[in-house]
Structure 1
Amino acid sequence: MGDGGVIVFDTISGSYNRQVPPAFDEGQHPLFVTWKKVVNGYEPRLRGCIGTLSPRGIVNGFKDYALTSALRDHRFPPIQAKELPSLQCTVSILTNYENAASHLDWEVGKHGIIIEFTDPDYNTKRSATYLPDVAAQEGWTVIEAIDSLMRKAGYNGTINDSVRNRIRLTRYQSTLFTMDYNEYVNFVKTTRGAAPSVVGLKAH
């Protein structure tokens, strides 16, 4: 998975010349790419996160979603080259999908969740997902995470047990790897003999 971080930084920095070991691209999986930004030593803040719940080839999937999450997450302005030194990326491969018995049948810090339900006010189907680390990072209980995810799905009505019990929940786990820009630069220097050259960014 360490290669995943390299692929993602290679893609966003424009360094496309790396040969990826063929064994790395075995199988197809749902995947996500998350960007966070570290400013003045504070806890990293979300800078972009987009992925797919449909299976994708790992290498091409990471390349596609490296750019999509960096440039097209509508919650944030596009990432600029000058931000690269403060960025941290996490690549996640989603595995172990299971149909949960209820909206309570999952564990904070272990499972990611997908919820699907019908909005009783508009008779509209809604869905959303949180990766496994989200609820734990926010310090949420199971119920708090569910309620937040319902809002993320676009539901604006009253949330109570009657509405929660309409939810069909799928739980999953993820294999992930996190790399910051300095680790990427050191990797490139070691394996390629020179630091990456990025347009708009001074060389280290």
Structure 2
Amino acid sequence: MVSANREMVVYCFDTLVAHYNSEQAPPPSFDEGQHPLFVTWKKAVNGGEPRLRGCIGTLEARCLINGFRDYALTSALKDRRFPPIQAKELPYLECTVSILTDYETGLHYHDWEIGKHGIIIEFTDPDYNTRRSATYLPEVAAHEGWTKIEAIDSLMRKAGYNGTITESLRKRIRLTRYQSTLFTMHYSDYASYVKTTRGMAPAVVGAKPGNN
């Protein structure tokens, strides 16, 4: 089984840096394979708690190299919840890559473990008779300190449901649980790694330490 690793995060940073510089990213140094994956960007300023700046991925298996290249940019620039990440934010970013594994169908909406499982919910919106779905990665509920019900309700809102959440509606949810491996790296560690392995630190026009 392929696990998330440092080279995958380096490739995501390389891809974003290359985008700002209008260049091609260096070829990645991890093996190709096909897995569901996510790329998450967070930003920490003045030593504060890192805040989410973008998180997008795919629940379907994708070629890892193309997948990380595409979602590194999509999550940084096209997450509709946030403005696009600007080059000047780079020194404050951390990147997490996730590879999803072990998909299982839950027996009911609370058939999963906080901190172990990510969850996908699917349900029919009773107000519009439309199908809705959304996912949280395994680390989200634990990081937020949610109960299972709080996580489910938050996920229903994320899916776009604005009506009243009732227990009977929760019971009609189809839940899929999964696990993941992940690897996180801050930009400063990425820059040090690049300098060590390539002999020159990454340089981006407009990305100067000291800008927020």
Unaligned runs of 5+ in 2: none
Note the 1:1-204 alignment, pairs <5 A.
Answer: 1-14=5-18, 16-21=24-29, 24-202=30-208
> How big is each residue's C-alpha offset from its partner over 1:126-159, in whole Å with a ceiling of 9 and x where there is no partner?
1000011110111000111001111111111211
Structure 1 residues 17 and 62, CA gap change in structure 2 (3 angstroms) = closer
- Structure 1 CA distance, aligned partners of 2:72 and 2:25? 16
Tell me the amino acid that sits aligned with residue 157 of structure 2: R
CA RMSD of aligned residues (A): 1.5
> How big is each residue's C-alpha offset from its partner over 1:3-28, in whole Å with a ceiling of 9 and x where there is no partner?
0110000000016453433xx33321
Tell me the amino acid that sits aligned with residue 9 of structure 1: F
SS in 1 for 2:49: coil
- Structure 2 CA distance, aligned partners of 1:122 and 1:6? 43
What is the percent sequence identity of the aligned residues? 73
Tell me the amino acid that sits aligned with residue 171 of structure 1: R
Q: TM-score, normalization: structure 2?
A: 0.91
- Is contact 1:4-1:62 (8 Å) kept? yes
> How big is each residue's C-alpha offset from its partner over 1:93-118, in whole Å with a ceiling of 9 and x where there is no partner?
11110001110100111100000011
- Structure 2 CA distance, aligned partners of 1:81 and 1:64? 18
> How big is each residue's C-alpha offset from its partner over 1:51-84, in whole Å with a ceiling of 9 and x where there is no partner?
1111111111111111101110111111111100
Q: TM-score, normalization: structure 1?
A: 0.95
SS in 2 for 1:62: helix
SS in 2 for 1:150: helix
- Is contact 2:122-2:131 (8 Å) kept? yes
- Is contact 1:25-1:57 (8 Å) kept? no
Tell me the amino acid that sits aligned with residue 112 of structure 2: W
- Is contact 2:115-2:141 (8 Å) kept? yes
Unaligned runs of 5+ in 1: none
- Is contact 2:92-2:187 (8 Å) kept? yes
